[in-house]
Structure 1
Amino acid sequence: MSPRIVPSRFEEEPPLFEPRAECFQIGLVSHNLFQNKLLQAMLAAELGGAHQVAEVAIRDRAVIVERPSWDLVLWDGYGLNLEEMNVKLRLGDAPDPIEQAMALFNVDPDVGTAFERRVIERCIRGIFYLDEPLDRFIKGVKAILQGELWFSRKITSKILMDIHYRRAGIAAAEAMLTAREKEILIAIASGASNSSIAEECFISPNTVKTHLYNIYKKIGVKNRLEATLWVARYL
């Protein structure tokens, strides 16, 4: 009987996924240089040697892109909050974020849906959390390189429900509100006063109050703030 060959734990393991034939350019944005080196080695091993993974230069908290466009920029989202989104997720002279594929990694799992929604609004293609398993991270990177999005089921379900409610609200507004009432409601949401609405619509302030009473009753709100929130969600 021939001896059984036990592979050494130091032997190179096969990649989790078969690499594509194309050569992708992947950029890493993080101040953690040690982490960057590990990610570079891991992505190169898992995606194939033809893919190029390099660090993206950062100056004044803005990305400095030295080539016309990366196939994917992976941005370290550790500690990133809503207030920093518009500052740190600025591409400087890089292409528009809609064209430049970007994804966040190292994101706190408890960051909240408000942050995740803002990320999606910034046209970020995906989010990878701190507790993301390695195989899912590689699978997600590969999916984004294929032109897909990579978000959790919780986020996508929330967005789909919001779209559903928004469409329902628009349909309800079309059915319930007159053209004049919709005009006044939108003006209220923009911060206009009763007197300015009256002047703009060539009606009396008392008529504006009557319209507001009818509007509030139809959409189920009690004051200007609730009406503004209703407009933000449904119109």
Structure 2
Amino acid sequence: MATAHILSIDQKRLIRHHQVYILGGITIQNQLMRDLFQYELQLYPGLSPDIKAFPVSSNLNGGRRLVLIDCLERDMDNYLAGRELTDYIVPHFQLVAFFNLLPHWGREREAINLGVKGFFYRTDSLEILGEGVFTLFTEGLWIPRGALFEPLEDEEGDAEDLYDKLSLQPPNILLTRREKQILHNLGRGLRNKNIAEELGIGEATVKTHIYNIYKKIGVRRRSEAVLWAVRHNCLH
């Protein structure tokens, strides 16, 4: 597979001062990932099954350090309950993501609350991996569409009732029903055009609602809005 077009030259320049570490065994797949990061993304990753092999501090000139945790041979339910993630990895590294997750794992919200910022699945392509790593470095969050909940048409009950049940905290932040709809669809990973088509409104109207949401909840980008919604239990 040709991988030269995973990221543009400008995108590679934006992330070249960051660092990525692969926490996993010295497998063929992980070595290929390391080569991908080094030769295609122009990053210089570390690879080790021991988190303490990676430096907890380094001179990156403002760059971020991302730990990619290989889930292939881990019992992820027990791993979330363990202490390595919460007591060591999250406090010492700015970005933490899981990769090789089973599709429909179902515990992404819990992982986000523990400090995990990204999720990659066993079915993801190299292009998705490259895009996700770039987005983690530039926006601080990579949550694929559908990772937090099933689409609305799979939910029980009427969609209007679902939006009315969104629990928004703190209580002094009041979003309109339409803003709740927009926020819900941001959590699904939909683009402005897709949201507009689904709700039957103009794309400019969607942008206006997103701007108002940002002002009300005090964020500046989509990833921050989704993270706020997850932490305040707004994406049922």
TM-score range, shorter chain: 0.5 to 0.7
What's the CA shift for 1:100?
2.1
Mark the runs of 5 or more structure 1 residues left unpaired by the alignment: 1-8, 172-232
Distance apart, 1:138 and its partner CA:
0.5
Specify whether residues 14 and 103 from structure 1 end up closer, same or farther in structure 2 by C-alpha distance, changes over 3 A only.
same
In structure 2, relative to structure 1, the CA distance for the partners of 1:44 and 1:116 (3 Å cut) is same
CA drift at 1:25 = 1.3
* Change in 2 beyond 3 A, CA 1:117/1:164: farther
Q: Contact 1:25–1:72 (CA<8 Å) still a contact in 2? A: yes
Determine whether 1:36 maps to 2:22: no
- The amino acid that maps onto 2:55 is E
Corresponding position: 1:119 with 2:108: no
Change beyond 3 A, Cα 1:13–1:154: closer
Deviation at 1:165, TM superposition (A): 2.9
- Contact persistence 2:90–2:115 (CA under 8 A): no
Q: What is the aligned counterpart of 1:146 among 138, 152, 164?
A: 138
Q: Percent identity?
A: 19
1:71-90 CA distance string (max 9 Å, x none) = 11111022432222132642
1:53 Cα deviation (Å)? 0.6
Give the whole-Å Cα distance in 2 for the aligned partners of 1:67 and 1:169.
34
Equivalent residue number for residue 16 of structure 1: 6
Once the two structures are superposed, residues 165-209 of structure 1 have per-residue CA deviations (whole angstroms, 9 ceiling, x without a partner) of 3527997xxxxxxxxxxxxxxxxxxxxxxxxxxxxxxxxxxxxxx
Are 2:46 and 1:54 aligned?
yes
Cα distance in 1 for residues equivalent to 2:169 and 2:49: 45
TM-superposed deviation, 1:153? 2.0
Query: How many residue pairs align between the two structures?
Result: 154
Question: Any residues of structure 2 matched to 1:71-82 within 5 Å, and which?
Answer: 71-78=65-72, 79-82=74-77
Residues 1:102 and 2:96 are matched in the alignment: yes
The question of 1:26 aligning with 2:20 is answered yes
| Equivalent position amino acid for 1:68 in 2 | S
Matching residue within 63, 78, 86 for 1:83: 78
> CA contact under 8 A between 1:74 and 1:103: conserved in structure 2?
yes
Cα distance between partner residues in 1 of 2:163 and 2:95? 24
What is the CA-CA distance between 1:163 and the residue it aligns to?
9.1
CA distance in 1: counterparts of 2:83 and 2:35, whole angstroms: 25
Q: In terms of Rg, which structure is larger?
A: 1
Q: Which moved more, 1:37-46 or 1:131-140?
A: 37-46
C-alpha RMSD over aligned residues: 3.6
Note closer, same or farther for the CA distance 1:108–1:32 as it changes in structure 2 (3 Å cut): farther
Q: Is the 8 A contact 1:68 1:95 kept in 2?
A: no
Query: What TM-score, normalized by structure 2, do the two folds share?
Result: 0.53
d(CA) in 2 for partners of 1:94 and 1:168?
30
- Cα distance, 1:168–1:124 mapped onto 2, change above 3 Å: closer
Alpha-carbon distance between aligned partners in 2 of 1:168 and 1:142, rounded to the nearest angstrom: 30
Which residue identity is paired with 2:81?
N
For the structure 1 residues 88 and 45, does the alpha-carbon distance in structure 2 shift closer, same or farther, using more than 3 Å as the test?
farther
Structure number with greater CO (CA < 8 Å, separation at least 6) is: 2
State how far apart, in whole Å, the 1-side matches of 2:81 and 2:34 are: 27
User: What stretches of structure 2 of length at least 5 have no aligned partner?
Assistant: 59-63, 151-158, 172-232
